[in-house]
Structure 1
Amino acid sequence: MKRILVAPLNWGLGHATRCIPVVGALLEQGFEPVLASDGQALELLKKEFPALVSIELPSYHIKYTKNGNLLALGLLGQSQKIRRAAEKEYNCVDKLVAELKLDGIISDNRFGVYSKKVPSVYITHQLNVPFGVFTRMASKIHHKLISKFDECWVPDYEGYDNLAGSLSFPPPKKIQIRYIKPLSRFDYKAFVKVYDILVIISGPEPQRSIFEEKMIEKFKEFDGKVLIVRGILEQDQKREFLDSIEIVNYMLKEELEAAILRSELIISRSGYTTIMDMEALRSKAFFIPTPGQFEQILLAIHLRKRGIANFSFQKNFTLCKLKEGLQTQGFPIKKTSNENAEMLSFDVFNS
């Protein structure tokens, strides 16, 4: 079997979760995936695929500001640190290619995870990077990084009638782009509704904790059944109750899938992986973008324009706004995530 390194970025859990159907498709098509990441992204993959070999890669050690308005400037100030981390990644992967006899690499937004010795694929939905006044510069830098890979896979539909809007289309010239359709680890099934609201907490600190605290505070006033999934991977699953609110530290694939399908309305960040999951499960969603994260704001605006889902900025969120979420049309019924994953072609590794 050909051995393929699969390496998602450790920025929240979104990059890791959307790699789960990719790993599954590799296994189904006779490849041997090797998992590589750091932090909670690696822990999630290890929990989902305990039998696979896993490697810890150097961390980017990105620090996030508490003030969302300063996020772009904060990340820009850490650009040299990110570049050095990518160089460490590249050197580490160069050794792994020889030591593990790798036949290919799939990197989800890890800039240094590629090799000139084996075919390397980069996964991203951000062909165009929104970064405020630095958008043009950020996009050019990203294109230069993508050009080091043999192919770039975009988990979206081709054209403007897509999920990511202007982020994933049009594609830049001189880069080998493949639109592989949205990917999700979930598959739709019919379930009886149990929860009025499911809140999925995600993303890097400190905004993850700020979001959690705000949701608990708001839903103490709510007359209905609420489940909050905190998105914190720990050794043991913990469950607690606060009046009508049920709080769980984390859920893995099957349990979270069932919780989403049993909920009338999902409240979450407008991260792209979450959006793909909502589409796969045909869920009604209400998004609260991470403050200062331009990508999530643009995604939320795009989906509201299409009448699919509504959103609120975190500082303006009230329970009254939830009626707006229930009045949207929801995601159009498309092919299931598993069907999309089955159509994945790994020909780049067979040449």
Structure 2
Amino acid sequence: KEGIITFDPLKKSKQRILIAPLDWGLGHATRCVPLIKELIADFELVLAASGRSKQFLQQLFPDLLHIDFEGYNIRYPANGNMAAKMLLQVPKVMQRIKEEHRELQSLIQEHQIDLVISDNRFGLYSSSIPCIYITHQVHIQAPNLLSDPLFKLHGKYIKRYTECWIPDHPDAHNLSGELGHGEVPANCRYIGPLSRLQKVDCEKAFDYCALISGPEPQRTKFEDLLVSIFRNRAESLLLLCGKPEENSKVKEGNITRISHQGDEELARSICSAKAVIARPGYSSIMDLAQLEAPCVLVPTPGQTEQQYLAEYHQQTNSVPWFSQSELSMEQLKQTTASVIQTKWGSPNFNQEIRRILDGTADKNG
């Protein structure tokens, strides 16, 4: 079979790949890390991102070329109707999709790009080179009246790409449920879950570890809520704040707050807690499953995808979840955190990516 990339020995020694994650929280950037690590030895990589995503990738891969590439600048409401807030931002997002599509053509020429890997950025397709689109949410969770139109619109964009990579398994041992399964466009391929973390054995130093993530202002509201719940309590809390632009560690009584950690430190911190409190964003779900970390999920208010994933993993893995408004120490103490179960390494992710690029992989294998 022919691979996605056709090597041209007359062009240059290594093919050049542009990788561009969406700026919706850090999750899209973090799940690109295993891809980057797999490709970095054999390809020249160019990373295009903005804000915290760019800062995060620059810290991990300082020797790569980083391009400031404006994102969609999605904002969650501090209070009120999430659907209405998101609907008001649609014109801005659609305009940015058109702009990034035009900008991509310039990037391809300027940097001699051979392949594009876009993590949930809709406009990074081209007729001149192969382009890969990564998403776990082929079926976008939305109020009923919007579900079918959004599926058709998303499918329209997916079909403009050479392939769509779904970071999950095709069978029942999956993490995304209906989001990434059922009816999907013909160019979709399941590549297995993506996590940059590796499980480590260590002593339990904290009662709870909280992963603070997602767009503002809800990211900060979640952090402040947990501080108010745990302040002056006997239970210890490790707050991992997901701020790569900062470098701080502060201990205030029973609460330890760390702005940002590298992969190994982060895995050790998560594994050092008796239970993890986290948003059920899909990248967090993949990391928690990889680490086999007992967890409690707290969906971002009004975020329908996270609400679905929380309910899905309660049904499939008995993972408890609470709405943000009902989260309390009493609820946590009465709850037994559970592990998100999935299979890993079947097929081996690194081997799968290599087979996809050289054309030896089956479509869903």
TM-score (norm 1): 0.93
For the pair 1:189 / 2:190, whether they are aligned, the reply is no
Q: Per the alignment, do residues 55 and 287 of structure 1 end up closer, same or farther by CA in structure 2, a change over 3 Å counting?
A: same
Counterpart for residue 344 of structure 1: 353
Distance in structure 2 (CA, Å) of the matches to 1:37 and 1:327: 35
Write the deviation string for residues 34-62 of structure 1: whole angstroms up to 9, x where unpaired. Answer: 10111111111111100100111123232
TM-fit CA distance, 1:222: 3.1
Moved more, 288-297 or 191-200: 191-200
Q: How does 1:212-231 map to 2 (within 5 A)?
A: 212-231=223-242
Distance in structure 1 (CA, Å) of the matches to 2:335 and 2:46: 40
Instruction: Report if aligned partners of 1:280, 1:336 keep a CA contact under 8 Å in 2.
Output: no
Q: Per the alignment, do residues 324 and 49 of structure 1 end up closer, same or farther by CA in structure 2, a change over 3 Å counting?
A: farther
SS at match of 2:128: coil
Distance in structure 2 (CA, Å) of the matches to 1:180 and 1:307: 22
Instruction: Report if aligned partners of 2:27, 2:283 keep a CA contact under 8 Å in 1.
Output: yes
For the pair 1:37 / 2:49, whether they are aligned, the reply is yes
TM-fit CA distance, 1:63: 2.8
For the pair 1:19 / 2:32, whether they are aligned, the reply is yes
Q: Which residue of the other structure, out of 321, 345, 364, is the alignment partner of 1:311?
A: 321
Q: Provide the identity percentage.
A: 34
For 1:201, the aligned partner's letter is: I
Distance in structure 1 (CA, Å) of the matches to 2:318 and 2:93: 35
Counterpart for residue 150 of structure 1: 162
Distance in structure 1 (CA, Å) of the matches to 2:68 and 2:355: 24
Distance in structure 2 (CA, Å) of the matches to 1:350 and 1:339: 16
Distance in structure 1 (CA, Å) of the matches to 2:312 and 2:169: 14
TM-fit CA distance, 1:293: 0.4
Distance in structure 2 (CA, Å) of the matches to 1:247 and 1:103: 42
Instruction: Report if aligned partners of 1:198, 1:265 keep a CA contact under 8 Å in 2.
Output: yes
Q: How does 1:1-351 map to 2 (within 5 A)?
A: 1-28=14-41, 30-67=42-79, 69-133=80-144, 134-173=146-185, 175-234=186-245, 236-323=246-333, 325-326=335-336, 328=338, 330-332=339-341, 334-335=343-344, 339-345=348-354, 347-348=356-357
Q: Per the alignment, do residues 155 and 325 of structure 1 end up closer, same or farther by CA in structure 2, a change over 3 Å counting?
A: farther
Q: Per the alignment, do residues 337 and 211 of structure 1 end up closer, same or farther by CA in structure 2, a change over 3 Å counting?
A: farther
Q: Per the alignment, do residues 277 and 341 of structure 1 end up closer, same or farther by CA in structure 2, a change over 3 Å counting?
A: farther
Distance in structure 2 (CA, Å) of the matches to 1:105 and 1:25: 15
Distance in structure 2 (CA, Å) of the matches to 1:203 and 1:243: 26
TM-fit CA distance, 1:241: 1.6
TM-fit CA distance, 1:336: 5.6
TM-score (norm 2): 0.90
Distance in structure 1 (CA, Å) of the matches to 2:283 and 2:346: 12
Instruction: Report if aligned partners of 2:295, 2:337 keep a CA contact under 8 Å in 1.
Output: no
Distance in structure 2 (CA, Å) of the matches to 1:349 and 1:324: 51
Q: Per the alignment, do residues 315 and 85 of structure 1 end up closer, same or farther by CA in structure 2, a change over 3 Å counting?
A: same
Moved more, 266-275 or 305-314: 305-314
Instruction: Report if aligned partners of 1:198, 1:227 keep a CA contact under 8 Å in 2.
Output: yes
For 1:289, the aligned partner's letter is: P
Q: Per the alignment, do residues 37 and 332 of structure 1 end up closer, same or farther by CA in structure 2, a change over 3 Å counting?
A: same
For 2:70, the aligned partner's letter is: P
Q: Per the alignment, do residues 337 and 260 of structure 1 end up closer, same or farther by CA in structure 2, a change over 3 Å counting?
A: farther
| Alignment root-mean-square deviation, CA | 2.0
TM-fit CA distance, 1:263: 1.2
Distance in structure 2 (CA, Å) of the matches to 1:314 and 1:289: 7
Moved more, 46-55 or 220-229: 220-229
Instruction: Report if aligned partners of 1:159, 1:170 keep a CA contact under 8 Å in 2.
Output: no
SS at match of 2:354: coil
TM-fit CA distance, 1:121: 0.4
Q: Per the alignment, do residues 25 and 319 of structure 1 end up closer, same or farther by CA in structure 2, a change over 3 Å counting?
A: same
Q: Per the alignment, do residues 247 and 332 of structure 1 end up closer, same or farther by CA in structure 2, a change over 3 Å counting?
A: same
TM-fit CA distance, 1:9: 0.2
Instruction: Report if aligned partners of 1:104, 1:349 keep a CA contact under 8 Å in 2.
Output: no
Distance in structure 2 (CA, Å) of the matches to 1:226 and 1:71: 29
Q: Per the alignment, do residues 163 and 347 of structure 1 end up closer, same or farther by CA in structure 2, a change over 3 Å counting?
A: closer
SS at match of 1:270: coil
